[in-house]
Amino acid sequence: MDLRVLVVVFSMVVSELPHVHTRPIDFVCDSEARIMMNKVKDLQVEMVVCSAVDALPSDIKLPCIRIHKATWERKSVHEQRAEILLSLGTLAQDVRSARTLSQPGCGLTLLERLEHSINNYLHVVRLLHIEQGEQVGPQAEPCLGQPSKDLGLVLKHFGLLLTGKLEWLILEMAKGC
């Protein structure tokens, strides 16, 4: 591999991870770390500048973002985490598929950055240490999100997943900070 390519790839990765050394406990106990990790607003701004992203080349299932408070609170943190992991995993897979079908340009770059951001969240949520019971959470019931080719809607739902379900899980876990 050409050294220049390696340097470019490394600089892209570093630029996307402002808190490379953030530990999962920091993610839970430090709201500023979570705010810094959330790149949805940056991606939305970039999407406005990138006119090539009118429609995605394939459908992306929108993550389920609705929360019935009483039902959510009855779920264990394992179940909540499993539900979030399922949503993030499905979103990452669909974004990856759309990315592979995209033409080179700003639309492809935007999808790569989105996929990277989703994968960062998947990694952090998988590493969250949950004190209660077993470390492997139960399987979440699949929530079949509506498919969309609208990247703006995908970004909106991703952002709402982070500020909704994920933040509620973190607030529950932060009681131990």
- CB neighbour class for 116 (10 Å; exposed up to 12, middle 13-18, buried from 19): middle
Q: What is the pTM of this model?
A: 0.78
User: Cβ–Cβ contacts within 10 Å for residue 38, how many?
Assistant: 17
Please state which CATH number belongs to domain 23-176: 1.20.1250.10
What tokens were used for 89? Answer: 């995993």
Domain ranges of the chain: 23-176
- What b-and-e string marks burial along 50-72, b requiring 16 or more CB atoms within 10 Å of the CB? beebeebeeebbbbbbeeeeeeb
Q: Specify the range with the lowest mean pLDDT, choosing from 91-100, 127-136, 142-151.
A: 127-136
125 touches 43 (CB < 8 A): no
Rg (CA), the chain: 17
Half-sphere exposure of residue 169: CA atoms within 13 angstroms, side-chain side: 26
User: Tell me: the pLDDT tens digits for 96-118?
Assistant: 999 999 888 888 899 999 999 99
Q: What is the per-residue pLDDT across 65-84, written as a single tens digit (0 to 9) for each?
A: 888 888 888 998 899 999 99
